[in-house]
């Protein structure tokens, strides 16, 4: 017999925990009720989204719409890109680094020490050589250290992982400066991947737009779908140069599709969620969504400063960084903390009332004045 009480308890906990959710970059303002019918089908986007397999219960058309939307948003050159909906940003990073390694098996991966933990793990899985680069105070890669480090390994192809929004402070590594370094050192063979899990969409609408997209020289870009867009199932989108995907493509006669993705069976529901939001909002709606977050973030900055809380944020970021807080507060608001900082991420569902309530909690605990560094 189904343990209904147990299920109910779980659902109640889910509801409560979704309430005060300020520290993780996850949107929870979605309503996919219209897609409920899809739960009745074993959707599986087996293989390559652009090559329909003999398995007919799939959402490949929607997946193609989704990747086309992001290829356009990230200014990929017509007919020269490829992409798919992944299980999340981590898989997108793995896939992109896989393509980079297949292109340059003797390459060295350079990434800043503010990079997401999935990158280090993926480097380990792929068994490629790598060097961590210092990051600046704001989380952005230290260009001098990058220049110096690459210069001592000039014979090896360069694989760059650039952050378009670091996990803690949403810092963006500037492709213009990175490419200038490669040019200065006369590096001929390089691959640039942008980990844009949270902030790719945000920065695509920034004016002036930071240099990070395919037209700016990225060979691949990865975003998470459950972060800025919002999805009940973790997912992501990865856009790559088609030539690099062609290098690894294998025809599989069993499925009738091409084996161009990390997993064989793939989630067919998440492309439908992403498609639904993109189709409903369009580019304009997405832009408004970004602007709303910027507005909340500047509100949070202003209010924290008014209350004497030492806070800062990067340009175009929706993440406001402030000193670590006592456990009651980090537990209540689910704030992620790293040594010297914690942060609130002003996702679309975060309200000014929630920001006010958080600030009151901080003030109540008398933790207003923290030494920075």
Which residues are at the interface with ligand PLP (CB under 6 A)? Answer: 88-90, 116, 118, 163, 165, 167, 195, 197-198, 224, 234, 236
CA-CA distance, 132 to 302, in Å (whole number)?
35
Question: How far apart, in whole angstroms, are the C-alpha atoms of residue 68 and residue 162?
Answer: 22
Rounded distance between C-alpha atoms, residue 23 and residue 17, angstroms: 12
237 contacts 220 by C-beta, under 8 angstroms:
no
> Any bridge partners for residue 237, and if so which?
85, 223
Min. distance of Cβ 258 from ligand PLP in angstroms? Answer: 24
Cβ-based nearer residue to ligand PLP, 90 or 220: 90
Complex with ligand PLP: residue 123 or 362, whichever CB lies closer: 123
With respect to ligand PLP, which residue has the nearer C-beta, 53 or 115? 115
User: Judged by CB, which is closer to ligand PLP: 90, or 255?
Assistant: 90
DSSP structure string for 258-324: EE-SSSSS-BSHHHHHHHHHHHHHHHHHHHHHHHHHHHHHHHHHHHHHHTT---B--TT--EEEE--
Q: How far is the CB of 1 from ligand PLP (least distance, A)?
A: 36
Least distance (Å) from ligand PLP to the CB of residue 267? 13
> Which C-beta is closer to ligand PLP: that of 191 or that of 228?
228
With b meaning 16 or more CB within 10 Å and e meaning fewer, what string describes 323-337? bbbeeebeeebebbe
How many other CB atoms sit within 10 Å of the CB of residue 18? 12
Nearest distance from C-beta of residue 86 to ligand PLP, angstroms: 8
- Least Cβ distance, residue 216 to ligand PLP (angstroms): 18
Residue nearest to ligand PLP (CB): 89
């Amino acid at each position: 017999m189904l343990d209904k009480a147990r299920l109910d308890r779980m659902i109640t906990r889910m509801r409560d925990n979704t309430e005060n959710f300020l520290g993780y970059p996850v949107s929870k303002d979605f309503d996919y009720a219209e897609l409920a019918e899809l739960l009745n089908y074993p959707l599986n986007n087996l293989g390559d989204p652009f090559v329909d397999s003999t398995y007919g219960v799939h959402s490949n058309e929607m997946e193609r719409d989704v990747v086309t939307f992001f290829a356009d948003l990230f200014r990929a050159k017509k007919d020269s890109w490829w992409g798919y909906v992944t299980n999340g940003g981590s898989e997108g990073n793995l896939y992109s680094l896989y393509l980079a390694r297949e292109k340059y098996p003797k390459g060295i991966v350079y990434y800043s020490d503010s990079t997401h933990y999935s990158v280090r793990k993926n480097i380990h899985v792929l068994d490629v050589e790598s060097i961590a680069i210092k990051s600046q105070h704001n989380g952005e890669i230290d260009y001098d250290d990058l220049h110096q480090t690459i210069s001592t390994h000039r014979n090896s192809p360069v694989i760059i992982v650039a952050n378009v929004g670091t996990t803690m402070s949403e810092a963006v590594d500037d492709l213009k400066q990175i490419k200038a370094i490669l040019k200065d050192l006369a590096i001929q063979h390089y691959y640039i991947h942008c980990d844009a899990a949270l902030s790719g969409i945000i920065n695509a609408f920034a004016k002036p737009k930071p240099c990070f997209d395919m037209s700016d020289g990225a060979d691949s870009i990865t975003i998470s779908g459950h972060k800025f867009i919002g999805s009940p199932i973790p997912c992501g989108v990865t856009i790559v140069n088609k030539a690099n995907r062609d290098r690894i493509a294998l025809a599989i006669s069993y499925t009738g599709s091409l084996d161009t993705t990390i997993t064989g069976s793939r989630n067919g529901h998440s492309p439908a969620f992403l498609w639904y939001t993109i189709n409903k909002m369009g580019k304009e709606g997405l832009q408004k969504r970004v602007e709303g977050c910027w507005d909340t973030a500047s509100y949070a900055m202003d209010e924290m400063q008014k209350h004497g809380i030492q806070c800062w944020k990067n340009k175009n970021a929706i993440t406001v960084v402030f000193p670590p807080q006592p456990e009651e507060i980090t537990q209540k608001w689910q704030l992620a903390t790293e040594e010297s900082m914690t942060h609130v991420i002003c996702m679309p569902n975060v309200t000014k009332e929630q920001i006010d309530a958080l600030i009151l909690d901080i003030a109540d605990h008398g933790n207003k004045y923290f030494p920075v560094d």
